[in-house]
Structure 1
Amino acid sequence: MSTHTHEKHDEHHDHNHGGIFGEKTELYFAILSGVFFFIGLILEKFTNLSGIKLLVSFMIAFFFGGYYTTIEAIGKIKKREFEIDFLMLVAALGAAYIEKWEEGALLLFLFSLGHALENYAMSKAKKSIEALGELTPKTALVKENNSTKEVSVEALKINDVIVVQPNTKIAADGVIIKGKTSINQASITGESMPVDKEEIGELNKIPDFKDIEEKNKVYTGTINGNNVIEVKVLRLHKDSTISRLIKMVSEADTQKSPTQLATKKFEKWFVPFVIILVFTLCFAHLVINETVNESLYRAITVLVAASPCALAISTPSAVLSGIARAANKGVLIKGGRALEDLGSLTTIAFDKTGTLTEGKPRLTNAIPLNGFEKNEFLRIVLAVETLSNHPLAKAITKDIQSTYAVASLGNASNIKAIQGKGISADYMENMVFIGNEALMDSQSILISETVKQQMNVLLQEGQTTMLVAYKQNLIGLLSVMDVPRKHAKETLSKLKDIGIQKMIMLTGDHQNVGNSIAKQIGLTEAKGNLLPEDKVTAIQQLKKANTKIAMVGDGVNDAPAMAHSTVGIAMGAAGSDVALETADVALLSDKIENLPFVIGLSRKSKSIIKQNLWISLGVVALLIPATLFGFASIGPAVIMHEGSTLLVVLNALRLLRYNEN
């Protein structure tokens, strides 16, 4: 990978050439250039050597300092491009031509040293991305009959069964078919705590990888806990989540931000201006009282001062560092545009189900009526609902057992579904009915006005209510609801604190449901009863009013709305092909609380980009008049030029250590 100006498609330099000393060859060549430059100075000051004997040391400094600069310049000239390496080489050769060998050697020494140090510094950002590739183990243990065989991960096939030993990396995306464990998924999702995993129930009906519950699926490169598990391979190595992430993150820095585009446009006009200015200065002796050599020296010095090296790398270095930091935190940002746009947001629209809420119903109320004993009421409900496969029944069963610690006596039988009304079952030789008012009316079970008022209050809050009758008497009221995520309210509060002015829910659920959730977690507004195309319309309207808007969803049914927003943000995208492909930003874990971090990182990136632009343009603005009017020679100009380049890179690398306050 390139490590100098970090744009692919040959738009900038790549000084990571390698050589006889490996990847540090350019640094060693720069040091040798410096050594021979200082030897030349010493010989010049303290010996009587003259002519070619004195110049040998400077010539050797020229060779080592100009070696990679020449390679770059020739490569660009072949493509009819003239960039910074070419300008520096011309300046050095010009200095030699006017017999300023020591200044030409100093120029190439500092230029090559600056680039080598810049290369070293920027490789830290690249290595944060490249480290993803090292997460995948090289081999896997494939189960064959009662034995295992070690094979390369590239040789794994769909439906192979691999055995994963304790504390080892998982070699493929797949589903656990045997065993329970805890898995460290930090490499994929950024989660700091291990996640409990268990084998899937029905081995004969394994769904597509994207449809498998998180508790049953595993990802390549994650680390198994203390138990042996068996995993059925569902994705080939090249299609694994980690492989796609490596590809997307490594390509992300090629997508230019608005600032990069503006900078590139500025360079397009600035570089020809510099060349014309320098060419003109070469003939200054025709109009002012100075020698030819003095005019050439001034022109060369201005050429060094005006070369926009720091400007060229100021934005790409920050974009790369920001993307690398986000990837380390389990967030995929697809390019500089998305990174910058995130920091400009003042409005965020959210999908409800699975984004702001848990995405599954929870038992919110279990109220005994008419003096019926609560534990007995819960035991009856549990016994009946345990027999049902309906999602609401499963939610009620789970929550009664976990929240109320009630155990089923298993005395229910003969369960029947009553279309559009509810269910009935036998319990202790008596009928139990669980369902809506219509079911109770059909069985001539009396519902008091007080109970109807209770139900109406719950309905206004967006809850789904069910009545429970036993022995022809109403014994209780149940309500279920898709409840807010644990950290949703805290996250929205943080977003508000960092300047997000509007937070709007777009949901297909009833308006009452949206209003209830909005009130609980602190949303600005909720829009209910929306079809996917209605969400697109809502996004377009919000964009007209607020300019930049993000849409946060699951990346599947919200994909159209994401596509029309300024920034599409997908939640829980690690297992979703659609989310990874359609979103501009993908939160790989299912954690909404990562949103403030991402927006904060974007704002910090924008701030650093702005700082870098001021540094780079400020130095150029200072050096051009200083060299033009003879206040600065090549030495100080080169030091400030290379110093500013290194400074903007080091400033950008601060993003690698960014943490939310």
Structure 2
Amino acid sequence: MNRFQKWVYGNWSVPVVSGVLIIISFAVQRLAGGAANLTISPQWWLDAGTHATHASAVFTLADVFMVAAAVVAGSGIVIKAVRALIARVIGIDLLVSVAALGAVIIGNFWEAAAVTFLFAIGHALEAATLNKTRSALAELVAVAPDSAVVVRDGEQQEIPAGQVRMGEIVLVKNGAKVPVDGQVVSGTGAIEEASITGESMPVEKSKGDQVFAGTVSRGGFLQVLATGIGADTTLARIIHRVEEAQDAKARTQAFMDRFSQWYTPAVMVLALVAGLIAGDVVLALTLLVIGCPGALVISIPVAIVAGIGRAARNGILIKGGEFLETSAKISAVAVDKTGTLTEGQPRLTDVVVLDPTRDRAEVLRWAAAAEAGSEHPLARPILETAREDGVAPEGIPGTVTPVPGKGIVSDVAGQRVLIGNPPLLDQYGVPDDGSAAQAAEALASDGKTPMIVAVDDTVIGVVAVADQIRRDAPEMVARLHQAGVEKVVMLTGDTRLVAEAVGKATGIDEIHASLLPEDKLDVVAQIQRQGHTIAMVGDGVNDAPALATANIGVAMGAAGSAVAVETADIALMGDNLLKLPEAIGLAKRTVSVMRQNIAIALITVVLLLAGVFAGGVTMSVGMLVHEASVLVVIINAMRLLRKTRASTAPPKSEKTTEKGAKQVTV
């Protein structure tokens, strides 16, 4: 399609042609004998005698051009109105169509042309600005890679990105876009992941790291094993989710849609009654134009599109208008400790020997042997330390039985090994003279997670694992409060002492410790009964019940996780905690813009209706003000596309964060 064809089928061809015809009509009138006796008045056609006196071939030609302008601008409007009527929908197009046709019938050609011309301009501007608000989606599509360099038959081949096969080795050179989701198998490099996570700083990648399609290499050379291609890439899932989210309706928008179904017919009835009572057809037609709910109809969806688009640019996926609107009401946030407030990379810090017949290495060896078959995240640091100390277990334990909320029970070489908290000892009848509980409490008070180790019926020691508090955790809590969140709550399966140490360092308002997954659900439900709208931040696995119960479920670090992107109400693609308060703040600003737009639309209609009955507001003036109000609500919504001053980068101040990190290791 060439440029001319694009223009013909574009949004601006109709208003441009209509506008030219209107100009020609005025020019013909001017050339016919001066503006004095050819000025168009709203009543000239009704005065048959006057019309007969002044009509001429030239004047009729001017009428033809004016009617042609109305036909060019109004034909599409009439077609849309008819189609809507067939679908039993009475919309804004019907109001404009009836008003324009009525104006032509009574001879108000200028009014008919002006109304349809202005409406066409409004439609073109509306489409252009809506496309602008959807620019985030266009930007995401634009970063999709076109080509890829793969290794086939031992040679480098450049092929379209869509032709890469699963399991192929893709080469990513400096300055190139990553064409697939994959895992680095060789090389090192710096990858800019702004299109996925919203963070502009490049991330160092090496063997074993994950990379995403649409990200850009800023240095180095990587060989990547393709694990996600085409529609299965993270970028494709993000584009799909943003596209769906921008079309999803908020509760307010759904209400306005229902309202407009009654409002439009009511305007038509009002116009008919007013025209019959006053005996003035022009008044009735003017009321039809004035009552057009265009600004009201566009006020909410344009704000939703802009808000979700702004969020997507920043690496925040909001599932739809309903969740955006609900997020603006969030007054409480519940967060898990491990992996959210902490780094999620615990390490073994202490091995306390309680049995005088054994030494540190033996306690560590039994603990590692018991954890060898465990999937618990705290098993890894124990096993890693055991390997470093040369006491790693050989083979695997006979059986491993997890005891939710307490620990595990393992069969190691025919001996029962318990590793967990004091309630686990009580459950299996293992005696404790108090030394194990005392040691565990002392470690927990230092912000560490203690685990008592018992072999058969004897407690032999306590091991402790610690995780580092994330540098941006205190700042996140502070910004949540600034965003209007009244209560930030920690839900953790860890001990009360460890949880309190983290809470004190981060500024958490309320702590719930030693929780099972179902207990987290109960706490979330309890906070809801207190009247709060609560968001739950979790990993979507053991926190699934609580995430489902919360008003808003938030997935952290969702890049590369298809489940998180598709199921979370809000998915924070990066691992930046400050994205959470940013998402809530953006939701609040979006809802505020929605309310402002509704107010602008309603006030405009009321003032115009008052102006019609008071006199002085014609159809053309009414349509001009109406289209101006449409532009105002769109421009108001586009403010959401601007970046805010608040930075989402981790806080620069080392004093506060280092204090939390150095004084409390959890």
Q: Same fold (TM over 0.5)?
A: yes
1:277 aligns with 2:284: no
* Aligned partners of 1:170 and 1:220 also within 8 Å: yes
Residue 309 of structure 2 corresponds to which residue in structure 1? 324
1:598 aligns with 2:583: yes
What are the superposed Cα offsets for residues 260-290 of structure 1, whole Å, 9 maximum, x if unpaired? 1221222122111111112223323xxx4x5
Residue 236 of structure 2 corresponds to which residue in structure 1? 243
1:570 aligns with 2:570: no
Once residues 226 and 639 of structure 1 are traced to their aligned partners in structure 2, the CA distance between those partners, rounded to angstroms, is 55
Question: What amino acid is aligned across from residue 276 of structure 1 in structure 2?
Answer: V
Shift in Å, 1:494:
1.2
Question: What amino acid is aligned across from residue 245 of structure 1 in structure 2?
Answer: I
Residue 256 of structure 1 corresponds to which residue in structure 2? 249
| Pairs within 5 Å for 1:1-80 | 20-22=5-7, 25-45=10-30, 47-48=32-33, 51-80=59-88
Moved more, 160-169 or 507-516: 507-516
| Pairs within 5 Å for 1:166-205 | 166-200=174-208
Q: Match of 1:649, SS?
A: helix
Once residues 79 and 351 of structure 2 are traced to their aligned partners in structure 1, the CA distance between those partners, rounded to angstroms, is 77
* Aligned partners of 1:386 and 1:394 also within 8 Å: no
Residue 526 of structure 1 corresponds to which residue in structure 2? 511
Residue 654 of structure 1 corresponds to which residue in structure 2? 639
Match of 1:100 among 104, 108, 120: 108
* Aligned partners of 1:597 and 1:660 also within 8 Å: no
Question: What amino acid is aligned across from residue 623 of structure 1 in structure 2?
Answer: L
Q: Match of 1:283, SS?
A: helix
* Aligned partners of 2:103 and 2:282 also within 8 Å: yes
Residue 587 of structure 1 corresponds to which residue in structure 2? 572
What are the superposed Cα offsets for residues 303-334 of structure 1, whole Å, 9 maximum, x if unpaired? 11001000000000000000000000000001
Once residues 309 and 19 of structure 1 are traced to their aligned partners in structure 2, the CA distance between those partners, rounded to angstroms, is 30
Q: Match of 1:191, SS?
A: coil
Residue 545 of structure 2 corresponds to which residue in structure 1? 560
What are the superposed Cα offsets for residues 429-477 of structure 1, whole Å, 9 maximum, x if unpaired? xxxxxx9999xxxxxxxxxx9999786433234414699xxxxxxxx99
Once residues 160 and 601 of structure 1 are traced to their aligned partners in structure 2, the CA distance between those partners, rounded to angstroms, is 41
What are the superposed Cα offsets for residues 574-627 of structure 1, whole Å, 9 maximum, x if unpaired? 122221222111001111111111111111101111110010000011112321
Match of 1:632 among 591, 595, 617: 617
Q: Match of 2:615, SS?
A: coil
Once residues 493 and 561 of structure 2 are traced to their aligned partners in structure 1, the CA distance between those partners, rounded to angstroms, is 21
1:356 aligns with 2:364: no
What are the superposed Cα offsets for residues 357-395 of structure 1, whole Å, 9 maximum, x if unpaired? 11121466899xxxxxxxxxx9xx99xx99999887975
Residue 592 of structure 2 corresponds to which residue in structure 1? 607
What are the superposed Cα offsets for residues 527-548 of structure 1, whole Å, 9 maximum, x if unpaired? 1222222222221111111241
Q: Match of 1:278, SS?
A: helix
Q: Match of 1:111, SS?
A: helix
Question: What amino acid is aligned across from residue 350 of structure 1 in structure 2?
Answer: V
Residue 459 of structure 1 corresponds to which residue in structure 2? 444
Residue 298 of structure 2 corresponds to which residue in structure 1? 313
Moved more, 145-154 or 594-603: 145-154
Once residues 504 and 531 of structure 2 are traced to their aligned partners in structure 1, the CA distance between those partners, rounded to angstroms, is 23
Q: Match of 2:594, SS?
A: helix
What are the superposed Cα offsets for residues 153-195 of structure 1, whole Å, 9 maximum, x if unpaired? 2222221111122211111111111111111111001112111
Question: What amino acid is aligned across from residue 254 of structure 2 in structure 1?
Answer: L
* Aligned partners of 1:597 and 1:659 also within 8 Å: no
Change in CA separation of 1:54 and 1:421 when aligned onto 2, cut-off 3 Å: closer
What are the superposed Cα offsets for residues 506-538 of structure 1, whole Å, 9 maximum, x if unpaired? 122223222221121111111122222222222
Once residues 524 and 602 of structure 2 are traced to their aligned partners in structure 1, the CA distance between those partners, rounded to angstroms, is 38
Change in CA separation of 1:386 and 1:540 when aligned onto 2, cut-off 3 Å: closer
Question: What amino acid is aligned across from residue 80 of structure 1 in structure 2?
Answer: R
Change in CA separation of 1:192 and 1:515 when aligned onto 2, cut-off 3 Å: same
Change in CA separation of 1:505 and 1:51 when aligned onto 2, cut-off 3 Å: same
* Aligned partners of 1:345 and 1:500 also within 8 Å: yes
Once residues 656 and 279 of structure 1 are traced to their aligned partners in structure 2, the CA distance between those partners, rounded to angstroms, is 42
Instruction: Give 5+ residue unaligned stretches, structure 2.
Output: 34-55, 353-359, 398-407, 411-418, 423-433, 453-460, 647-666
Change in CA separation of 1:481 and 1:296 when aligned onto 2, cut-off 3 Å: same
Moved more, 182-191 or 349-358: 349-358
Once residues 235 and 392 of structure 2 are traced to their aligned partners in structure 1, the CA distance between those partners, rounded to angstroms, is 46
1:143 aligns with 2:128: no
Residue 502 of structure 2 corresponds to which residue in structure 1? 517
Question: What amino acid is aligned across from residue 107 of structure 1 in structure 2?
Answer: V
Question: What amino acid is aligned across from residue 86 of structure 2 in structure 1?
Answer: K
Once residues 246 and 141 of structure 1 are traced to their aligned partners in structure 2, the CA distance between those partners, rounded to angstroms, is 24
Match of 1:300 among 280, 285, 294: 285
Once residues 421 and 380 of structure 2 are traced to their aligned partners in structure 1, the CA distance between those partners, rounded to angstroms, is 21
Change in CA separation of 1:44 and 1:308 when aligned onto 2, cut-off 3 Å: same
Change in CA separation of 1:162 and 1:638 when aligned onto 2, cut-off 3 Å: same
Q: Match of 1:503, SS?
A: strand
Once residues 625 and 616 of structure 2 are traced to their aligned partners in structure 1, the CA distance between those partners, rounded to angstroms, is 14
Once residues 504 and 437 of structure 1 are traced to their aligned partners in structure 2, the CA distance between those partners, rounded to angstroms, is 24
Shift in Å, 1:40:
2.0
Shift in Å, 1:114:
1.3
Once residues 123 and 41 of structure 1 are traced to their aligned partners in structure 2, the CA distance between those partners, rounded to angstroms, is 34
Shift in Å, 1:415:
5.6
| Pairs within 5 Å for 1:149-548 | 149-200=157-208, 216-284=209-277, 288=278, 290=279, 295-362=280-347, 413=390, 456-464=441-449, 480-548=465-533
Q: Match of 1:41, SS?
A: helix
* Aligned partners of 2:181 and 2:212 also within 8 Å: yes
Change in CA separation of 1:597 and 1:19 when aligned onto 2, cut-off 3 Å: farther
Change in CA separation of 1:628 and 1:520 when aligned onto 2, cut-off 3 Å: same
Question: What amino acid is aligned across from residue 283 of structure 1 in structure 2?
Answer: L
Question: What amino acid is aligned across from residue 598 of structure 1 in structure 2?
Answer: A
Shift in Å, 1:117:
1.2
Once residues 556 and 436 of structure 1 are traced to their aligned partners in structure 2, the CA distance between those partners, rounded to angstroms, is 21
Once residues 414 and 357 of structure 1 are traced to their aligned partners in structure 2, the CA distance between those partners, rounded to angstroms, is 28
Once residues 322 and 197 of structure 2 are traced to their aligned partners in structure 1, the CA distance between those partners, rounded to angstroms, is 23
Once residues 576 and 609 of structure 1 are traced to their aligned partners in structure 2, the CA distance between those partners, rounded to angstroms, is 32
Instruction: Give 5+ residue unaligned stretches, structure 1.
Output: 1-17, 201-215, 368-377, 400-407, 423-434, 439-448, 468-475
Change in CA separation of 1:639 and 1:365 when aligned onto 2, cut-off 3 Å: farther
Question: What amino acid is aligned across from residue 538 of structure 2 in structure 1?
Answer: G
Using the aligned pairs only, state the percent identity.
36
Once residues 63 and 118 of structure 2 are traced to their aligned partners in structure 1, the CA distance between those partners, rounded to angstroms, is 19
Once residues 251 and 516 of structure 1 are traced to their aligned partners in structure 2, the CA distance between those partners, rounded to angstroms, is 42
Change in CA separation of 1:95 and 1:232 when aligned onto 2, cut-off 3 Å: same
Question: What amino acid is aligned across from residue 577 of structure 2 in structure 1?
Answer: I
Once residues 109 and 493 of structure 1 are traced to their aligned partners in structure 2, the CA distance between those partners, rounded to angstroms, is 52
Change in CA separation of 1:393 and 1:550 when aligned onto 2, cut-off 3 Å: closer
TM, length-normalised to structure 1: 0.79
Once residues 117 and 78 of structure 2 are traced to their aligned partners in structure 1, the CA distance between those partners, rounded to angstroms, is 13
Q: Match of 2:220, SS?
A: coil
Q: How many aligned positions are there?
A: 576
Change in CA separation of 1:466 and 1:568 when aligned onto 2, cut-off 3 Å: closer
* Aligned partners of 2:91 and 2:261 also within 8 Å: no
Once residues 227 and 108 of structure 1 are traced to their aligned partners in structure 2, the CA distance between those partners, rounded to angstroms, is 59
